[in-house]
């Protein structure tokens, strides 16, 4: 007779023990653990979301961003730059980003040659109290070409043109630019005399500082373009009155020289005008004299044939014309000539004498 239950392959499963009834405390603990695990899961999910969202960052319109992975830039050249907009990266320390301003202007100041000043005094433009002597430990200064001491400071304005080179060439490119500006200021001051720096050639000194700074920046290949360089120079505060006296004397000297040059120009111009007037008058007289001589020469050439034909008659005619012209207002004219035999001969000529009035007119009342 066959069994009602079919045979089963393999070992038989062990029978589950019967569930033991749980008390109220155990059930409450189990529910609390399940609720805690649910809360932990939610918190973990939220932490992961916060961690991932912390990698969001924004690049401004005049900025570029460089993405670093474990400190190394991702991409080469322009490909390493992130354009303006919203970007995402893995949070630190996996990824890191650096923002670089490419549209705005950057500024550094050199105070290596300036006296000690607090930030509040610098903003307010207040000069600190003057001590008895210059303190080289606290007060900066520069030496001029004629071995004088002055205070000078410079402000350099530049624009970043190569962000990759600017960020990775040096540990702190801004400090490097400031060091180069310090070098340029000291170098330029050593090439100018104190009067040139303070009064005579202020613009030339400023241009020299800018030229030297640009030369150093190009040599270091910092990836920036120098836009402007402003320089301010003052004498030592302890010698301000002495420098003011020298400046006053220099101004007076310049004034006297300018007046002398003005007077010189007036005298020179007047003398030149007088000389030109005299020369013009002389040239006019010369032209008139030459013209008269030429006319007389032409007249002599015209009457020369007449003289050659009848010399005596020609002389007599010319003599009569000359005497008539010269002795116009003379009543009695006596002309003495010599006879052919050498004896003196007297000749009386009555020229232009008024006719005697009639007797009737004389006796008329």
As a whole number of angstroms, the distance between CA 306 and CA 294 comes to: 19
pLDDT above 90 covers a percentage of the chain that reads: 27
Task: Using pLDDT thresholds of 50, 70 and 90, give the confidence band for residue 349.
Answer: low
Give the residue with greater pLDDT, 52 vs 330: 52
DSSP state of 79: G
Convert the pLDDT of each residue in 68-82 to its tens digit: 776 666 666 566 666
In the chain, where are the structural domains located? 2-53, 56-101, 106-235, 250-286
3-state secondary structure of 205: helix
Q: Which helix (H) or strand (E) holds 253?
A: helix 240-309
> What mean pLDDT is predicted for residues 167-179?
84
Task: Determine what percent of the chain falls in helix, strand and coil, rounding each to the nearest 5.
Answer: 50, 20, 30
Q: In terms of CATH architecture, what is 106-235?
A: 2-Layer Sandwich (3.30)
DSSP state of 13: P
Beta strands in 264-328 (DSSP E): none
| Helix ranges, the chain (H) | 24-53, 119-124, 163-168, 173-189, 194-195, 202-220, 240-309, 311-326, 359-363
pLDDT of residue 350: 53
The answer to whether 142 and 189 are in contact (CB under 8 A) is yes
Task: Using pLDDT thresholds of 50, 70 and 90, give the confidence band for residue 49.
Answer: confident
User: What distances in angstroms separate CA 2 from CA 5, 6, 7, 9, one per listed residue?
Assistant: 9, 9, 11, 17
Q: In this model, does residue 30 exceed pLDDT 70?
A: yes
pLDDT of residue 256: 92
As a whole number of angstroms, the distance between CA 94 and CA 188 comes to: 47
pLDDT of residue 297: 87
Mean pLDDT of the chain: 78
User: What distances in angstroms separate CA 352 from CA 228, 281, 329, one per listed residue?
Assistant: 99, 41, 8
């Amino acid at each position: 007779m066959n069994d009602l239950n079919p045979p089963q392959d393999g070992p038989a499963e062990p029978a589950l023990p019967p569930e033991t009834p749980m008390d109220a405390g155990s059930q409450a603990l189990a529910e609390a653990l399940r609720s805690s695990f649910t809360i932990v899961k939610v918190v973990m999910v939220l932490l992961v979301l916060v961690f991932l969202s912390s990698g969001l960052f924004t690049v401004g319109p005049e900025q570029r961003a460089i993405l670093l992975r474990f400190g190394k830039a991702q991409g080469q050249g322009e490909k390493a730059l992130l354009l303006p907009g919203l970007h995402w990266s893995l949070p630190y320390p996996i990824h890191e980003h650096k923002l670089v301003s490419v549209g705005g202007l950057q500024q550094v100041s050199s105070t290596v040659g300036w006296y000690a000043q607090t930030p509040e005094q610098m903003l307010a433009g207040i000069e600190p109290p003057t001590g008895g002597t210059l303190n080289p430990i606290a007060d900066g200064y520069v030496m001029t070409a004629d071995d004088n001491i002055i205070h000078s400071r410079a402000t350099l304005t530049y624009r970043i043109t190569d962000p990759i080179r600017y960020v990775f060439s040096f540990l702190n490119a801004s400090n490097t630019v400031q060091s180069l500006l310090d070098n340029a200021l000291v170098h330029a001051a050593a090439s100018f005399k104190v009067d040139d720096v303070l009064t005579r050639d202020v613009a030339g000194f400023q241009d020299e500082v800018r030229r030297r700074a640009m030369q150093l920046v190009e040599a270091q290949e910092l990836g920036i373009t120098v836009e402007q360089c402003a320089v301010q120079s003052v004498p030592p505060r302890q010698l301000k009155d002495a420098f003011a006296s020298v400046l006053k004397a220099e101004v007076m000297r310049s004034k006297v020289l300018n007046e002398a040059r003005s007077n010189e120009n007036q005298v020179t111009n007047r003398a030149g005008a007088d000389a030109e007037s005299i020369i013009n008058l002389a040239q006019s007289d010369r032209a008139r004299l030459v013209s008269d001589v030429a006319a007389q020469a032409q007249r002599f050439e015209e009457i020369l044939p007449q003289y050659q034909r009848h010399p005596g008659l020609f002389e007599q005619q010319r003599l009569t014309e000359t005497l008539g012209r010269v002795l116009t207002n003379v009543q009695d004219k006596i002309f003495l000539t010599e006879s052919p035999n050498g004896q003196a001969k007297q000749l009386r000529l009555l020229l232009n004498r008024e006719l005697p009035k009639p007797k009737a007119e004389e006796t008329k009342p």
